[in-house]
């Protein structure tokens, strides 16, 4: 996601010019952010449930 943002800035350090910003590109970035957030939530809930099981035994 960060690479996509950097390459869309004018005079960026990677290509020297800004890349196009399309509606599809923005939607893909939104889905990537949602995937990251959901993955973090799942990992947090999973580690909490494992900690509870360990304390119970």
pLDDT digits (tens, 9 = 90+) for 3-19: 888 888 888 888 888 98
Q: How many domains does the chain have?
A: 1
* Residue 13 belongs to some domain of the structure: no
19-33 pLDDT tens trace: 899 999 999 999 999
pTM, whole model, 2 decimals?
Answer: 0.69
In a domain, 50, yes or no: yes
* Vertex 43 angle, CA 38 and 49, to 5°: 125
Residue 27 lies in a domain: yes
DSSP 1-57: -HHHHHHHSTT-TTTSSPPP--HHHHHHHHHHHHHHHHHHHHHHHHHHHHHHHHHH-
In a domain? residue 29: yes
Tell me the C-alpha distance between 38 and 16, whole Å: 34
| Whether 17 contacts 10, CB under 8 Å | yes
């Amino acid at each position: 996601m960060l690479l996509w943002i950097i390459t869309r800035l004018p005079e960026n350090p990677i290509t020297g010019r800004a890349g196009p910003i399309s509606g599809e590109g923005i939607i893909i970035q939104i889905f990537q952010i949602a995937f990251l957030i959901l993955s973090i939530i799942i990992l947090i809930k999973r580690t909490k449930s494992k900690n509870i099981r360990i304390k119970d035994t």
